[in-house]
Structure 1
Amino acid sequence: MLNRRRFSSALLSASALCALGQGAAWAQAEAPIHILVGFPAGGGSDVIARLLADKLQAELGRSVVVDNRPGAGGQIAAQQLKAARADGTTLFLSHDHSISILPQVVAKPGYAPQEDFMPLGGFATFVNGLAVSPGTPARTVPEYVAWVKSQGGKGAIGIPAPASTPEFLVQLLGKNYGLDLTPVPYKGSAPMIADMLGNQIAAGIGSVQDFIEYQRSGKLRMIGVLGGQRQAALPDVATFSELGFKGLEDTPFYGIWAPRGTPIVFVNSFSSALEKVLALPEVRAKLTDLGLTVGYMSPGQLDARERAYTRVWSKIIADSGFQPR
Structure 2
Amino acid sequence: MTFSRRGLVSRLSRTIFALAAFGALGVASAQTGKPVKLMVGFPPGGGTDAIARILAERLKDELGVPVIVENKPGAGGQIAAQALKAAPADGTTYFLSHDHTITILPMVTKNPGFAPATDFMPVAGFATFVNAFAVSGGTPAKSFNEYVNWVRTQGNGKGSVGVPAPASTPEFLVKLIGEKYKLDLVAAPYRGSAPMMADMLGNQIAAGVASVPDFIENHKAGKVRVVGVLGDKRQAAMPDVPTFAELGLAGFEDMPYYGIFAPAGTPKATVDQFSAAVAKAIAMPEVREKLTAMGLTVGYMTPQQLAAREQAYAQVWARIIKNSGFQPQ
Could you tell me the TM-score, scaled by structure 2's length?
A: 0.91
Distance of 1:127 and 1:176 partners within structure 2 = 20
5+ long unaligned stretches in structure 2:
1-16
Helix, strand or coil for the counterpart of 1:108?
Answer: coil
Paired position in structure 1 for 2:305: 301
Residue identity in the other structure for 1:80:
A
Structure-2 residue corresponding to 1:218: 222
Distance in 2 separating the partners of 1:36 and 1:268: 19
Q: Is the 8 A contact 2:226 2:241 kept in 1?
A: yes
Whole-angstrom CA distance in 1 between matches of 2:315 and 2:102: 12
Q: Alignment partner of 1:322: what SS?
A: coil
CA distance in 1, matches of 2:37, 2:202: 34
Match of 2:283 among 279, 282, 286: 279
Residue of structure 2 equivalent to 1:94: 97
Supply the AA of the counterpart residue of 1:232. Answer: A
Tell me if the contact between 2:28 and 2:91 (Cα under 8 Å) persists in the aligned partners.
no
Name the aligned partner's letter for residue 243 of structure 2.
Answer: T
Q: Cα RMSD (Å) of the superposition? A: 1.5
Q: Deviations over 1:158-209 (max 9, x none)?
A: 0011111111110011111111100000111111111111111110000010
Q: Partners in 1 of 2:121 and 2:279 — Cα distance?
A: 17
Which runs of 4 or more aligned residues in structure 1 lie more than 2 Å from their structure 2 counterparts after TM superposition? 25-30
How far is the alpha carbon of 1:26 from its aligned partner? 5.9
Q: Deviations over 1:132-154 (max 9, x none)?
A: 01111111111111111112111
Count of paired positions:
306
User: Are 2:41 and 1:41 aligned?
Assistant: no
Tell me the equivalent position of 1:3: none
User: What SS class does the counterpart of residue 155 from structure 1 fall into?
Assistant: strand
Q: 2:230 touches 2:245 (CA, 8 Å); kept in 1?
A: yes
Q: Paired residue for 1:204?
A: 208
Q: How does 1:106-145 map to 2 (within 5 A)?
A: 106-145=109-148
Determine if the alignment matches structure 1 residue 268 to structure 2 residue 262.
no
Unpaired runs of 5+ in structure 1? 1-15
Report the 3-state secondary structure (helix = DSSP H, G, I; strand = E; otherwise coil) of the residue aligned with 2:81. helix
Counterpart amino acid of residue 71 in structure 1: G
Q: Percent identity?
A: 63
SS of equivalent to 2:102: helix
- 1:68 corresponds to 2:40: no
Aligned equivalents of 1:194, 1:268: Cα separation in 2: 39
Take 1:227 and 1:48, find their aligned partners in 2: how far apart are those partners? 20
Structure 1 residue aligned with 2:5? none
Shift of the alpha carbon at 1:43? 0.4
